[in-house]
């Protein structure tokens, strides 16, 4: 009987060690290039499935004023704090310009007043951080599609790249989305949040809202919007600061 108990104990210990070995094994597996490629292919599978299951224009849920977060925390950069940005902020962004360039027939350089004079959409939506938290806030600004049409984006453009005023390791933060999300009816260049001018922690003067994806796609402090045919040659080619540096999914609808 005692032998049987010992065997059972050994088995339990073996089982725990086995599970631990499996977990440790995962760290080895992810270093193998072929295995890593398969694992990372999950992103494209989810993107394909989600795009197949949703209408191109399917809307992210919108909320009432009563459902808004009492405090909408900021995340990432809370102040770019570069000499140029500080100068813009000191003059209420009168000197700031938004460049719209790349594969467009009419490159634009818009100031804040011009952007504010464009037809705007106001939406109360949920911001989901990749870490797991959510906050609900109200955003106002023109559709990105309106701006891209004003610049006459070419058919050859497949992606839109956002360059930001905040620096990470000396390089501007950047993000990118594809044409499906760029022309989505809730994708806006927000210049107001919760009924007031967008403040510095949340991305003043203008940030992106792309409501069917996670928080790290919502580029803040935008200075340039560039239409491109592909993402090669931009940063390290994965389409965003976090994508390049820590392997976050480019498709952040998951």
Partner 1 sequence: MVPPGTPLYRHRLATRLWHWINALAVVILFGSGLGISNAHPRLYWGSYGANFDHAWAELPHFPGWLTIPASYNLAISRRWHLFFALVLAFGLLAYMVASLVNRHFSRDLALTAKDVSPAHLAEDVRDHAEFRFHDADDPGRYNSLQKWSYLLVIFVALPLMIATGLALSPGMDAAWPWLLEVFGGRQSARSVHFATSALIGGFSVIHLALVILAGVSNELRSMITGWWKVPA
Q: Which of residues 9-28 bind partner 1 (CB under 8 A)?
A: 11-12, 15, 19-20, 22-24, 26-27
Q: Which of residues 111-150 bind partner 1 (CB under 8 A)?
A: 126, 128-136
Q: Which of residues 65-94 bind partner 1 (CB under 8 A)?
A: 67-73
Asked if residue 212 binds partner 1 (CB under 8 A), the reply is yes
Of 96, 139, 241, 242, the one binding partner 1 (CB under 8 A) is 242
Which one of the spans 59-67, 81-89, 150-158, 189-197 is the region binding partner 1 (CB under 8 A)? 59-67
Which one of the spans 4-12, 109-117, 155-163, 171-179 is the region binding partner 1 (CB under 8 A)? 4-12
Q: What is the nearest approach in angstroms of partner 1 to the Cβ of residue 29?
A: 9
CA–CA distance, 89 with 202 (Å, rounded to integer): 13
Asked if residue 32 binds partner 1 (CB under 8 A), the reply is no
Give the interface with partner 1 as residue ranges (CB under 8 A).
Answer: 8, 11-12, 15, 19-20, 22-24, 26-27, 30, 38-43, 45-46, 50, 53-54, 58-61, 63, 67-73, 126, 128-136, 211-214, 242, 246-249, 252-254
């Amino acid at each position: 009987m005692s032998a049987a108990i010992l065997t059972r104990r050994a088995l339990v210990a073996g089982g725990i060690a086995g599970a631990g070995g499996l977990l440790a094994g995962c760290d080895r597996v992810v270093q193998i290039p072929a295995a890593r490629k398969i694992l990372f292919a999950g992103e494209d599978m989810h993107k394909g499935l989600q795009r197949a299951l949703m209408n191109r224009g399917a809307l992210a849920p919108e909320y009432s004023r009563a459902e808004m977060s009492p405090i909408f925390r900021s995340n990432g950069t809370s102040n770019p704090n570069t000499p140029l940005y500080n100068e813009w902020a000191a003059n209420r962004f009168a000197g700031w310009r938004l460049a719209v360039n790349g594969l467009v027939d009419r490159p634009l350089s818009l100031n804040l007043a011009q952007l504010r004079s464009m037809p705007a959409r106001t939406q109360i939506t949920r911001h989901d951080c990749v870490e797991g938290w959510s906050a609900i806030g109200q955003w106002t600004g023109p559709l990105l599609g309106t701006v891209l049409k004003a610049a006459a984006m070419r058919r050859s453009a497949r992606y839109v790249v956002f360059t930001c005023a905040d620096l990470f390791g000396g390089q501007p933060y950047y993000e990118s989305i594809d044409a499906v999300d760029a022309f989505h009816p809730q994708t806006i260049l927000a210049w107001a949040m919760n009924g007031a001018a967008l403040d510095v922690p949340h991305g003043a003067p203008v940030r992106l809202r792309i409501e069917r994806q996670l928080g790290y796609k919502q580029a803040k402090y935008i200075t340039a919007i560039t239409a491109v045919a592909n993402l090669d040659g931009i940063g390290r080619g994965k389409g965003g600061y976090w994508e390049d540096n820590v392997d976050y999914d480019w498709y952040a609808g998951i």
